[in-house]
Amino acid sequence: MIRSIRACKTAAEERAVVRKECAAIRAAINENDQDYRHRNLAKLMFIHMLGYPTHFGQMECLKSIASAGFPEKRIGYLGLMLLLDERQEVLMLVTNSLKQDLNHTNQYIVGLALCALGNICSAEMARDLAPEVERLLQFRDPNIRKKAALCSIRIIKKVPDLAENFINPAAALLKEKHHGVLITGIQLVTDICKVSTEALEFFRKPKCLDGLVKTLRDVVNSPYAPEYDIAGITDPFLHIRLLKLLHVLGQGDADASDCMNDILAQVATKTESNKNAGNAILYECVETIMSIEDNGGLRVLAINILGRFLSNRDNNIRYVALNMLMKAITVDAQAVQRHRATILECVKDLDASIRKRALELVYLLVNESNVKPLTKELIDYLEISDQEFKGDLTAKICSMVEKFSPDKIWYIDQMLKVLSEAGNFVKDEVWHALIVVISNASDLHGYTVRALYRAVQTSIEQESLVRVAIWCIGEYGDMLVNNVGVLNIEDPITVTESDAVDVVEIAIKHHSSDITTKAMAMVALLKLSSRFPSCSERIRDIIVQNKGSLVLELQQRSIEFNSIVEKHQNIRSTLVERMPVLDEATFSGRRAGSLPATVSTSSGTSLNLPNGVAKPAAAPLVDLLDLSSDDAPVPSSSGNDFLQDLLGVDVSPASVQPGTSQAPKAGTDVLLDLLSIGSPPVQNNSTPSDILSSSQDNKSSVAILDGLSPAPSGGAASMIDLLDGFVPNSPKPEDNGPAYPSIVAFESSSLILTFNFSKPPGNPQTTLIQATFTNLSPNVYTDFVFQAAVPKFLQLHLDPASGNTLPASGNGSITQTLRVTNSQHGKKPLVMRTRIAYKLNNRDVLEEGQINNFPRDL
């Protein structure tokens, strides 16, 4: 069959062959064919390996296992292990067969059972069969003992409680001479110790520990043994297992660690490291040394070995060395620093795995003293690294620079370089943070804007760079043109006003600019039109080109700004004044997800205030925005909104917070209130209607407009949160609380009817009435029916009653829900006629009444 499958040239052919075979197998299963069962199972397994479904064969495996012959059992167990896993319920059926086989006289069959159990048993099976396995740990045949040991490992992993039972048998295994049993025994002990602290204590006792150390010493010193020799070392696997066990035993325990010091030193120095086997042993040895309690000499030894590994030409060795060094840093950072140069080389390695490890290691090594050279190296490499790596590299560089930058100018320099190289990989928070820093570094504004101008000339495709650049040019354009604040390290540069406008224009028109960039560019143009009055006309031309843009945000900005430039020159300059310094502390606090404890007022002074209006406008607005963040459900995202609003960015509808859904109607009333509060700071140059048509300093009024306009286009988030801030105490319309008292609608000597009222959310005309009927007489009422009639301006709907038998003397009640809709809600109260019919001792009774005492405002 295999031959025929391999002969197939196409996938479809293969599927056809497989289907035919499956059909044949299924037929054979149905006929319960004994002879070819094992062959069919083998075929099934092959088909399974190719990836086709084979569930129909599972019962066949079971039958095969149950049969008496060795070949059938062998293939049955193999099928079991391949076709089933522990999640299948069918597995439970095998438990019985397994139990019998574990007690079989033929030790190979016992071996098969142990093997299967060890590979796929589930927790229940483990519990059932654990005693058998325990017994087999002491079987005379070493082959069985070692299988039993590994099986026990799986049992312990599945059912940790059973670990204690295995401690003693496992301890016996440690004294074995047979390598196979010894290895598995050690493995078992290691796993027991990981699971049970009691076992850990037991095996840490000097008696046990010394035995282990002696075993290791014997193996290290043993002469050439052809059976176990690999690359000149006797049984490296045994070495490694022993070292692992010592690792577990020595960790956290000083005495145990002392015992092992000598042997560890011996292994570390004497093992040859020209072959992989030797290196594997050294690796494990170093790992052990690093984890046990401190011993200076050993640690130095270990780090030296790692240093040797690092300069090895074999990639595997270097990889494991980097891995180990990461752990070593916590232990001895100084020593690792010495190898910094080599590690840096590894960051540039051809091998992706090595690069990743090296980068992580470098990141861990960074501190204030070496951040500058390290960053320089990494940024240099950024230029030549390949795309998948750039993302990681950029993130790490940005994070490093942010944490350890010694001064602002260096920070800005590095960030500019990163943005020029890999701006597209830079996350939003990073360049937001950059802008905050720039705005705080007031003496560097000129330098920054000039540097950005130069950078943008060369790297226009890097989106984030363009965004930061146009923001800065918009803000500090005058400094750019007038060469304000030149530092002596700068080369002189002359930029004319129209050059500056060129840059922004290119940004708007560039094909790869997305909406955020274009929106920011618009704002920048508006600012420039005020700062460079001579270019005003040209700027206006650029702005109106977006008047017909399909994107609402751009269109809106275009029209508004155009109107400002054309008609409102008198307020324009105050509108686009220099932005107040963004408060770094608040920003980083928000970013960290914590709510600011105090409302922040922008503390930094803004430059060049022609009149003092702008600042108070900013302060209460900032306060208001802080208020909004207290209500915002997710502080970190509100932090972003805060900054995004200030930057005039925030086009994505995804940023609209859930707050928008909460207060739609209450919103409009309060909004007008808010505007009257918000207007005094700007009242000296605009009327309320102007507020609606012009844009304010921080662009938050765009958000107000968005809130008013029927189509919310994002950016309204914090504003609507603002509105929430103003309606904390007013009762929400959807309040379902007991605003209306319940009434006794009808009362007679034998019956009481009470009404409880509630209003469904969003519908003030409708009232839900919960009617409760209670029987006061000592007799039971049966066939209880309630009817009601209402005048024409009301609509009534009765739900079915909870029952129609009313127990006597108030021992129970019937409830029924009524729904009344009042078309004259607020003008006329509810009124209702009732008719109650029931049978008392098989006599019909009728009670009628009228209910006039409904609460007035239902």
Partner 1 sequence: MVIRELSGVILTRGPKLCNFVEWRGYKVVYKRYASLYFCMCIDQEDNELEILEIIHHYVEILDRYFGSVCELDLIFNFHKAYYILDEILIAGELQESSKKTVARLIAAQDSLVETAKEQASSISNIIAQATK
Q: How far is the CB of 344 from partner 1 (least distance, A)?
A: 18
Give, as ranges, the residues between 142 and 181 that touch partner 1 (CB under 8 A).
143, 146-147, 150-151, 153-154, 179-180
β-bridge mates for residue 751, sequence order: 775
Residue closer to partner 1 (CB basis): 51 or 762: 51
HSE-CB at 710 with a 13 A cutoff on CA atoms is 0
Helix ranges (H only) for 339-407 are 340-347, 352-365, 371-384, 387-404
- For 602-624, letters b (16+ CB in 10 Å) and e give beeebbeeeeebbbebbbebbeb
Q: How many residues bind partner 1 (CB under 8 A)?
A: 63
Does residue 653 belong to the site contacting partner 1 (CB under 8 A)? Answer: no
Give, as ranges, the residues between 63 and 122 that touch partner 1 (CB under 8 A).
69-71, 74-75, 78, 81-82, 106, 108, 114-115, 118-119
Q: Between the CA of residue 110 and those of 77, 125, 187, 257, 380, what are the distances in Å? A: 11, 16, 21, 40, 63
> Which of 31, 89, 227, 491 is in the footprint of partner 1 by CB under 8 A?
227
- For 265-290, letters b (16+ CB in 10 Å) and e give bebbeebebeeebbbbbbbbbbbbbb
Does residue 6 belong to the site contacting partner 1 (CB under 8 A)? Answer: yes
> Which of 192, 212, 238, 702 is in the footprint of partner 1 by CB under 8 A?
238
> Which of 52, 95, 222, 237 is in the footprint of partner 1 by CB under 8 A?
237
CB 817 within 8 A of CB 769: yes
Residue closer to partner 1 (CB basis): 316 or 693: 316
Residue closer to partner 1 (CB basis): 229 or 429: 229
- Main-chain dihedrals φ then ψ at residue 138, nearest 5 degrees: -110, 15
CA-wise closest residue to 279 among 225, 316, 243: 316
> Which of 33, 164, 211, 228 is in the footprint of partner 1 by CB under 8 A?
228
- Among the candidate windows 233-241, 338-346, 396-404, 783-791, which touches partner 1 by CB under 8 A? 233-241
Q: How far is the CB of 187 from partner 1 (least distance, A)?
A: 5
Q: How far is the CB of 49 from partner 1 (least distance, A)?
A: 7
Q: How far is the CB of 316 from partner 1 (least distance, A)?
A: 5
Q: How far is the CB of 328 from partner 1 (least distance, A)?
A: 16
β-bridge mates for residue 820, sequence order: 767, 796
Instruction: Output DSSP code: residue 54.
Output: -
The interaxial angle of helices 107-120 and 142-158, nearest 10 deg, is 20
Taking the C-alpha atoms of residue 26 and residue 839, their distance in angstroms, rounded to an integer, is: 69
Contacts of 777 (CB under 8 A, 6+ apart): 749, 750, 751, 808, 809, 840
Taking the C-alpha atoms of residue 179 and residue 237, their distance in angstroms, rounded to an integer, is: 10
Beta strands at 843-851 and 832-840: parallel, antiparallel or unpaired: antiparallel
Q: How far is the CB of 47 from partner 1 (least distance, A)?
A: 11
Does residue 353 belong to the site contacting partner 1 (CB under 8 A)? Answer: yes
- Among the candidate windows 351-359, 385-393, 534-542, 650-658, which touches partner 1 by CB under 8 A? 351-359
Helix ranges (H only) for 532-551 are 536-544
Residue closer to partner 1 (CB basis): 52 or 237: 237
Q: How far is the CB of 292 from partner 1 (least distance, A)?
A: 15
Q: How far is the CB of 269 from partner 1 (least distance, A)?
A: 19
- Among the candidate windows 22-30, 123-131, 236-244, 263-271, which touches partner 1 by CB under 8 A? 236-244
Does residue 48 belong to the site contacting partner 1 (CB under 8 A)? Answer: no
Q: Is 850 helix (H, G, I), strand (E, B) or coil?
A: strand
Does residue 326 belong to the site contacting partner 1 (CB under 8 A)? Answer: no
Residue closer to partner 1 (CB basis): 81 or 371: 81
HSE-CB at 136 with a 13 A cutoff on CA atoms is 30
> Which of 319, 381, 411, 642 is in the footprint of partner 1 by CB under 8 A?
319
> Which of 132, 176, 284, 413 is in the footprint of partner 1 by CB under 8 A?
284
Residue closer to partner 1 (CB basis): 228 or 793: 228
Q: How far is the CB of 38 from partner 1 (least distance, A)?
A: 9
Q: Is 773 helix (H, G, I), strand (E, B) or coil?
A: strand
Site string for partner 1, 187-206 (x = CB under 8 A): x-------------------
Helix ranges (H only) for 103-253 are 107-120, 123-136, 142-158, 163-173, 179-195, 197-204, 206-221, 236-250
> Which of 318, 339, 572, 699 is in the footprint of partner 1 by CB under 8 A?
318
Burial of 44 (0-12, 13-18, 19+ CB in 10 A): buried
> Which of 280, 290, 434, 643 is in the footprint of partner 1 by CB under 8 A?
280
- Among the candidate windows 167-175, 210-218, 238-246, 711-719, which touches partner 1 by CB under 8 A? 238-246
The interaxial angle of helices 428-440 and 635-647, nearest 10 deg, is 60
Interface residues with partner 1 (CB under 8 A) are 2, 6, 42, 45-46, 49, 51, 69-71, 74-75, 78, 81-82, 106, 108, 114-115, 118-119, 143, 146-147, 150-151, 153-154, 179-180, 183-184, 187, 227-228, 230, 235-238, 240-241, 244, 276-277, 279-280, 283-284, 287, 314-320, 350-354, 356
